[in-house]
């Protein structure tokens, strides 16, 4: 008798429970996704209309939802979350927090993390739920050093998290990520593992582990607790504790492919929620689409009905006396389809009495109620979405700029929860990275960090030192800093606002306006103004301009005397002048 794999059984049982618990909501989410990809008609209604015995009837799809989706998603792209890492306990260090912050930026840059964030955010907007993840990868085939990478999850429906309360999934005890691999790829990555179709026939579930050309592979992260009866605490005392670690394995429906410990203390799957609620103990999630679906379907129906009515109008018949069309029947029969300069008819009836020319029956008018209904539907759509005309660039000519801005703010407030939930999830992602960093960077090495202005620098990391930050006096008189990311506790704050490039361009424009009326200001911050411009060679001009600054404005170098107090006072006075000038520009 074949021995059962307890881990495989546990993984399959937990996965099956997740699928059953979320099946109803996932069906709704799939319908939401189909709706925003232009499948907006109920299948039964479409079938009836298209197979009508009297001829196919219009089933128009007037896409009004994607302009709102794009607006919310692009707002997320423009207002990217900005991280701020801060020390928490006495052993943590402010400078080390800055290094961690730069390291996270470098990881985001190398990972193209913005793609992961935006993909998860877009899923949350469309269906109410998105995911991205953190992985570790070797730097290259010949290196034992690993890199931390933030990756996107392209398909939300390939992810399940165990029961959790936090909207970022941070308190989940386990999670799954699917991937369907072509058979040849699976064999190359997993030599010797089972691939025959008959091996999967007796699974007894509907998880579709083996398709004609693919095998489904699932990653399983789970928390493991180990009882330590006499654990030593920080104050020297002892007590029984349950130590939590994270395990990982990869499996198909019939066998474990590989397994190992995960370095961090969190399940590295991050959830992004659109909106959520709990109804009778069950979690319900939705995005921007679901509340507006009924109104949008009604709009499609009414527009199809109006189109159908207008389409029938040219087909109304001509009314004429008997014998008026004799000899020219085909001309009159095709009058609705052919462009003829004239139509001839017999001006007398069969009794020889003169009669008027044939007349077309007037088409039935489009009822005013039908036109008014479309306007009501448009209003209902905007109310369902919480977004109004100004949100998508539509405004009335008589509205003032202040009124338009007020409407835009109202719409931004109505959809703010999407970007706010994304920022919360990014905060959890950064916590995962902070937790992983000292465990992955476990040897002394130089690490690259990135500043807010995208300038790259290197720092020295030494996991063996006992303090977070120490300084060494070098033979050339310079001071070298060495950091240990594993000493001390750090937390994360995330703020949402324009990206650095946007803020830089705004700063450049503001400084340029200041110098237009006050040329002397160029001698004070000209280097910063040129550095903020986004065109080729601007940074070179900024460097040259910086060398021309007065000594009082030059950055002090190592060992250089600080700026004299009288110069500082002059600079403060000049700063006051700049602030006054800035206020006048805004007014």
- Residue range 271-286: mean pLDDT, rounded: 93
- Residue range 504-513: mean pLDDT, rounded: 68
Query: Nearest to residue 120, comparing CAs of 289, 309, 277, 272?
Result: 272
Query: Nearest to residue 485, comparing CAs of 461, 459, 451?
Result: 461
DSSP 66-135: HHHHHHHHHHHHHS-EEEEEEE-STT--HHHHHHHHHHHHHHHHHHTHHHHHHHHHHHHHHHSEEEEEEE
Cβ atoms of 26 and 120 within 8 Å: the answer is no
Cβ atoms of 264 and 273 within 8 Å: the answer is no
Give the whole-angstrom CA distance, residue 240 versus residue 233: 10
Query: Nearest to residue 96, comparing CAs of 459, 451, 431?
Result: 459
Which pLDDT belongs to residue 434?
Answer: 95
> What's the N-to-C CA distance of the chain in angstroms?
85
The pair of three-digit structure tokens given for residue 275, joined into one six-digit string: 């909106």
Cβ atoms of 511 and 528 within 8 Å: the answer is yes
Q: Is residue 20 predicted with pLDDT exceeding 60?
A: yes
Which pLDDT belongs to residue 327?
Answer: 72
Which pLDDT belongs to residue 558?
Answer: 42
User: What residue has token string 């993984």?
Assistant: 11
Buried b (16+ CB within 10 A) or exposed e, 97-123: bbbbbbbbbbbbeebebbebbbbbbbb
Cβ-count burial of 524 within 10 angstroms (0-12 exposed, 13-18 middle, 19+ buried)? buried
Q: Is residue 547 predicted with pLDDT exceeding 90?
A: no
Cβ atoms of 168 and 228 within 8 Å: the answer is no
Which pLDDT belongs to residue 351?
Answer: 73
Highest mean pLDDT among 249-263, 340-354, 357-371, 408-422: 249-263
Which pLDDT belongs to residue 364?
Answer: 57
Q: What is the dihedral of CA 104, 108, 109, 115, to 10 degrees?
A: -170
- Residue range 219-235: mean pLDDT, rounded: 83
pTM: 0.76
Least confident of 249-253, 392-396, 470-474: 392-396
pLDDT more than 70, % of the chain: 75
Label each residue of 161-182 as H, E or C: ECCCCCCCCCCCCEEEEEEEEE
Kindly indicate the confidence band of residue 237, based on its pLDDT and cuts at 50, 70 and 90: confident
Q: Which residues contact 411 (CB under 8 A, 6 or more apart)?
A: 386, 387, 388, 390, 391
Least confident of 10-14, 413-417, 480-484: 413-417
pLDDT more than 90, % of the chain: 44
Q: Which residue has the higher pLDDT, 533 or 355?
A: 355
User: What residue has token string 């130089």?
Assistant: 446
Which pLDDT belongs to residue 203?
Answer: 74
User: What residue has token string 């109620």?
Assistant: 369
- Residue range 265-288: mean pLDDT, rounded: 94
User: What residue has token string 């170098």?
Assistant: 557
Give the whole-angstrom CA distance, residue 97 versus residue 134: 20
Q: Is residue 392 predicted with pLDDT exceeding 60?
A: no
Q: Which residues contact 45 (CB under 8 A, 6 or more apart)?
A: 59
- Residue 324 CB neighbours (<10 A): 21
Angle of CA points 433, 166, 247, to nearest 5°: 50
Q: Which residue has the higher pLDDT, 236 or 132?
A: 132
Q: Is residue 2 predicted with pLDDT exceeding 50?
A: no
Query: Nearest to residue 132, comparing CAs of 155, 148, 110?
Result: 155
H and E: helices and strands count for the chain: 15, 18
- Residue range 525-536: mean pLDDT, rounded: 66
Which pLDDT belongs to residue 500?
Answer: 56
Label each residue of 286-303 as H, E or C: ECCCHHHHHHHHHHHHHH
Kindly indicate the confidence band of residue 582, based on its pLDDT and cuts at 50, 70 and 90: low
Tens digit of each residue's pLDDT (9 = 90 or more) over 450-475: 887 778 899 999 999 999 999 888 88
Give the whole-angstrom CA distance, residue 26 versus residue 38: 19
Give the whole-angstrom CA distance, residue 419 versus residue 342: 64
Q: Kind and range of the H or E element at 417? A: helix 416-440
Q: Which residue has the higher pLDDT, 174 or 453?
A: 174
Q: Which residues contact 356 (CB under 8 A, 6 or more apart)?
A: none
Tens digit of each residue's pLDDT (9 = 90 or more) over 29-46: 999 999 999 999 999 999
Angle of CA points 264, 270, 274, to nearest 5°: 160
The pair of three-digit structure tokens given for residue 559, joined into one six-digit string: 């060992």
| Backbone dihedral region for residue 321 (phi beyond 0: left; psi -120 to 50: alpha; all else: beta) | beta
Which pLDDT belongs to residue 559?
Answer: 40
Mean pLDDT rounded to a whole number for the chain: 82
């Amino acid at each position: 008798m074949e021995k059962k794999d307890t881990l495989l059984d546990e993984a399959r049982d937990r996965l099956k429970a997740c699928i059953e618990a979320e099946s109803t909501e996932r069906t709704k989410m799939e319908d939401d996704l189909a709706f925003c990809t232009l499948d907006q008609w109920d299948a039964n209604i479409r079938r009836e209309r298209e197979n009508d015995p009297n001829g196919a009837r219009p089933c128009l799809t007037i896409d009004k939802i994607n302009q709102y989706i794009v607006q919310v998603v692009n707002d997320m792209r423009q207002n990217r979350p900005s991280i701020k890492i801060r020390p928490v306990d006495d052993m943590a260090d402010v400078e080390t927090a800055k290094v961690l912050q730069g390291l996270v930026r470098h990881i985001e840059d190398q990972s193209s993390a913005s793609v992961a964030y935006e993909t998860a955010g877009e899923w949350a907007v469309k269906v109410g739920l998105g995911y991205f993840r953190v992985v570790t990868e070797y730097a290259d085939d010949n290196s034992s050093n690993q890199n931390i990478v933030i990756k996107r999850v392209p398909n939300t429906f390939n992810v399940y998290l165990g029961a959790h309360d936090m909207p970022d999934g941070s308190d989940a005890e386990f999670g799954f990520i699917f991937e369907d691999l072509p058979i040849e790829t699976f064999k190359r990555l997993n030599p010797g593992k089972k691939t025959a179709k008959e091996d999967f026939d007796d699974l007894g579930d509907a998880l579709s582990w083996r398709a004609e050309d693919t095998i489904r592979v699932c990653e399983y992260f789970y928390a493991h607790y180990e009882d330590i009866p006499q654990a030593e605490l920080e104050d020297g005392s002892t007590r029984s504790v349950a130590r939590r670690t994270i395990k990982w394995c990869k499996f198909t429906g019939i066998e474990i492919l590989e397994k190992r410990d995960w370095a961090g203390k969190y399940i590295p799957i991050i959830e992004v929620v659109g909106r959520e609620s709990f109804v009778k103990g069950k979690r319900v999630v939705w995005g921007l689409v679901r509340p507006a679906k009924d109104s949008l379907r009604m709009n499609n129906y009414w527009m199809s009905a109006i189109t159908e009515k207008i389409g029938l109008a040219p087909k109304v018949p001509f009314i004429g006396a008997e014998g008026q069309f004799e000899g020219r029947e085909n001309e009159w029969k095709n009058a609705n389809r052919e462009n003829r300069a004239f139509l001839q008819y017999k001006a007398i009836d069969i009794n020889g009495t003169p009669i008027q020319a044939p007349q077309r029956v007037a088409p039935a008018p489009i009822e005013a109620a039908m036109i008014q209904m479309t306007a009501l539907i448009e209003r209902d759509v905007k109310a369902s979405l919480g977004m109004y005309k100004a949100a998508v660039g539509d405004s009335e000519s008589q509205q003032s700029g202040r009124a338009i801005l007020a409407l835009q703010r109202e719409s931004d407030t109505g959809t703010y929860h999407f970007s706010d939930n994304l920022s919360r999830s990014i905060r959890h992602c950064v916590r995962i990275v902070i937790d992983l960093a000292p465990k992955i960077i476990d040897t002394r090495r130089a690490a690259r960090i990135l500043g807010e202005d995208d300038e790259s620098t290197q720092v020295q990391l030494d996991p063996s030192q006992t303090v977070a930050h120490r300084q060494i006096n070098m033979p050339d008189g310079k001071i070298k800093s060495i950091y240990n990311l594993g000493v001390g506790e750090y937390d994360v704050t995330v703020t949402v606002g324009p990206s650095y490039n946007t803020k830089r361009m705004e700063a450049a424009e503001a400084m340029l306006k200041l110098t237009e009326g006050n040329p002397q200001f160029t001698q004070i911050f000209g280097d910063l103004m040129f550095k903020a411009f986004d065109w080729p060679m601007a940074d070179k001009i900024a460097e040259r301009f910086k060398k021309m600054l007065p000594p009082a404005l030059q950055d002090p170098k190592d060992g250089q005397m600080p700026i004299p107090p009288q110069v500082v006072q002059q600079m403060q006075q000049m700063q006051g002048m700049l602030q006054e000038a800035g206020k006048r520009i805004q007014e």
